[in-house]
Amino acid sequence: MSSETGPHHGEAVAARIERRWAALSIVIVGVLVGMATFIGIHQATMPQGRVELANPRTLHLSGEFIESNLGTSVEADGSVVVRAVGQQYSFTPQCIVVPVDTPVNLRTTSADVVHGLLIEGTNINTMLVPGYIADLQIRFKKPGEHVMPCQEFCGIGHQGMWGKVKVVEKDAFAKLMASRRRISCVE
Ligand code: CUA
């Protein structure tokens, strides 16, 4: 057969190999697109691996978010935990105090409708969805104040729903913590 032995045999082989590689690369792209699509849809439709729930009807009666448990505390392991609740139209506590340059775990939820929580100048920007706990990690590099508006329309008083985060030096924080188990900077 001339195609096997003729002068064009090498070309035919090269063309065949090129087609195979082209097909392979299309398959690889297809697999990657398929994986991305699957993961995207899967994550959007499944709850996150670690979803924590908090019943908005009983928040004020028992559990982690009762009023006496809100504010900033130092846990047994030395970590700083802030617990706060959003409700129409305020945050409790309205002013959160945290130490500088320390890992802070911010745990929040909503007592009624969906609110937002944004800490200006940081990457903290979450929704407070009734029934769910938003659990965030943050570390403030400098002392100072950050405004903390609700950034999710939550009703007629939405634009008045603002809180504040006050970042203080570590020793000042220790002094504040010395007298109480939970603190805030609400005056
Ligand atoms: Cu709460 Cu907007």
pLDDT digits (tens, 9 = 90+) for 164-176: 999 999 999 999 9
Where residue 11 falls (left for φ over 0; alpha for ψ -120 to 50; beta otherwise) is alpha
Q: What is the predicted pLDDT for the residue at 187?
A: 73
Q: Does 60 contact ligand 1 (Cβ within 6 A)?
A: no
- Topology of domain 52-179, per CATH? Immunoglobulin-like (2.60.40)
Q: What is the predicted pLDDT for the residue at 70?
A: 95
pLDDT tens digits, 21-31: 999 999 999 99
Quick one: average pLDDT of 106-121? 96
Give the model's confidence band at 77: pLDDT under 50 very low, under 70 low, under 90 confident, else very high: confident
Give the start-to-end residue ranges of the domains of the chain: 1-46, 52-179
Quick one: average pLDDT of 87-95? 96
Q: Does 111 contact ligand 1 (Cβ within 6 A)?
A: no
Q: What is the predicted pLDDT for the residue at 41?
A: 87
> Per DSSP, which regions of the chain are E strands?
53-54, 71-74, 80-87, 90-92, 95-99, 104-110, 115-118, 125-128, 131-132, 134-138, 144-149, 162-168
Integer Cα distance of 1 and 15 in angstroms? 18
Report which ligand 1 atom has the smallest distance to the Cα of 149: 2
How many angstroms is it from 103 CA to the middle of ligand 1? 26
Q: Does 148 contact ligand 1 (Cβ within 6 A)?
A: no
Quick one: average pLDDT of 122-151? 95
